[in-house]
Amino acid sequence: MKGRVCIVRHNYYPRENHVRRDAEALRDAGYQVDIICLKLKTEEEFELVNGINVYRIPVSHGRGGIFGYIVEYGFSFLLSSVKLNFLYLKKKYDIIEVDTMPDFLVFIALIPKLLGAKVLLYMFENMPELYAFEYKLSIGHPIVKLLKVIEKLGLKFADKIIITHERAYTIFEKHGIPKSKFTIVLNVPNEDIFSFPCRRMGKQGGNSFLLVSHGSILERYGYQTIVRALKLIESKIHNFRLLIVGEGEYQREIRRLVKDLRLEERVRFTGYVPFDEIPMTIGRADIGIVPMLGTCEYMLPNKLFEYIALGIPTIASALAAMKAYFHNNSVIFFEAGNEKDLARCILELYQNPAKRKALVANASKIYEKYRWPKMKKGYLKVYEDLTRRR
């Protein structure tokens, strides 16, 4: 056994694909892996999942208003801290990985760190900026400033930090954190699940031109832009359909928009789909759409890589993080939040099958550099470095 590891995440396991991917990579590399996570009503407090010990705290993810967030995150921090400290006294973890959000969750590792454990902080999203967008606050608002302070303290507290793309560092370098503390691990899919054969199996005959977008349905993820774009092309593409795969707090608003625009016959919502079934579900698509709004400038969503891994031609918002890795000959970019520009891109690909094929070929060549077997080596090296430093 290489060492004992505990991963703490404010989400569900094994539902969340990236935590499952990482935990299983650590298991296969010889680590003993525990997970502390949230609990669905149908789940057990403890479960052994594919050789990984899963400890669930009695908190569910509600995504409510400000007060709801405070209560949820507060209980999660308290209960996760109690569980982690109890387990640490029994198991003496070598490394504790905390995956954001929230950023302050990393401080549950204070006592284990003082007793010798190393702390790895996995930064997925920039919480201050996202909070400001969610509640329509300025960057200078006192609450946003407080979140910036917490972000800085968390980065300093951790022994190592993983970020999901190069441009994320342009945010965190303002806190004076040395670049040597960071490792980039792109959030790409596990190819045991996402691969071209899944697309071939999922692809079906028929005359419908299928668009797809999947993942959490949140306002900042821009599903409303797709729906509005569909209304603009309705008279030009008579056989299109949109499949929205997933669930989330903004789903009610998207459903209402679909109804208001009289697109009920064109748009289908699947609700929650088990992760292992997603490739077959989205693999039927003619185009995958990544419609993030401008507030997600520094996000590199994993669904972009999932479409490319499946060989699906992709249209994405022209945001810095995505354009840093893919050019316009591999992914078609449109102005974030601009339904007219998105409609133009959909029409362009609908009318040009050869271009769709070229996009897939070019994107696949670029993706070859970032596939999970290569990213996994970087992820495991962080653990090897931390283990040596104990």
Where are the chain's structural domains?
3-188+371-388, 196-369
pLDDT of residue 370: 95
pLDDT of residue 390: 64
CATH no. for 196-369: 3.40.50.2000
**Residue 267 · residue 227 · CB < 8 Å:** yes
Judge whether 3-188+371-388 and 196-369 match in fold: yes
Q: What is the mean pLDDT of residues 319-334?
A: 94
Question: Which of 244, 221, 220, 242 has the alpha carbon at shortest distance from 231?
Answer: 242
Per-residue pLDDT reduced to its tens digit, 88-137? 999 999 999 999 989 999 999 999 999 999 999 999 888 888 788 777 88
State both tokens at 18.
Answer: 């990236």
Question: Which of 86, 73, 103, 106 has the alpha carbon at shortest distance from 7?
Answer: 106
Indicate left, alpha or beta for 205 from its phi (over 0: left) and psi (-120 to 50: alpha).
Answer: beta
C-alpha to C-alpha distance for 390 and 384, rounded to whole angstroms? 10
Per-residue pLDDT reduced to its tens digit, 332-383? 999 999 999 999 999 999 999 999 999 999 999 999 999 999 999 999 999 9
**Residue 299 · residue 319 · CB < 8 Å:** yes
Per-residue pLDDT reduced to its tens digit, 30-58? 999 999 999 999 999 999 999 999 999 99
**Sheet with 240-245, edge to edge strand ranges:** 267-271, 240-245, 209-214, 287-290, 314-317, 332-334
Residue appearing with tokens 């201050």: 128
pLDDT of residue 110: 97
- pLDDT of 389 > 90? The answer is no
pLDDT of residue 23: 98
Q: What is the DSSP string of 30-47?
A: TEEEEEEEE--TTS-SEE
Residue 334, classed as helix, strand or coil, is strand
- pLDDT of 2 > 50? The answer is yes
Per-residue pLDDT reduced to its tens digit, 277-323? 999 999 999 999 999 998 777 789 999 999 999 999 999 999 999 99
Please, which contacts does 18-26 make with residues 24 or more away whose CB atoms are closer than 8 Å? 18/187, 18/302, 19/99, 20/275, 21/189, 21/190, 21/372, 22/97, 22/379, 23/52, 24/50, 24/52, 24/190, 25/376, 25/379, 25/380, 26/380, 26/383
Residues 157, 11, 307, 281: what is their CA dihedral angle, to the nearest 10 degrees? 170
- pLDDT of 204 > 90? The answer is no
pLDDT of residue 350: 96
By the 10 Å C-beta count (0-12 exposed, 13-18 middle, 19+ buried), 41 is classed as exposed
Give the containing element (helix H, strand E) for 271. strand 267-271
pTM of the model: 0.90
Q: Percent of the chain at pLDDT above 90? A: 74
- pLDDT of 147 > 70? The answer is yes
Domain 3-188+371-388 classified CATH 3.30.70.20? no
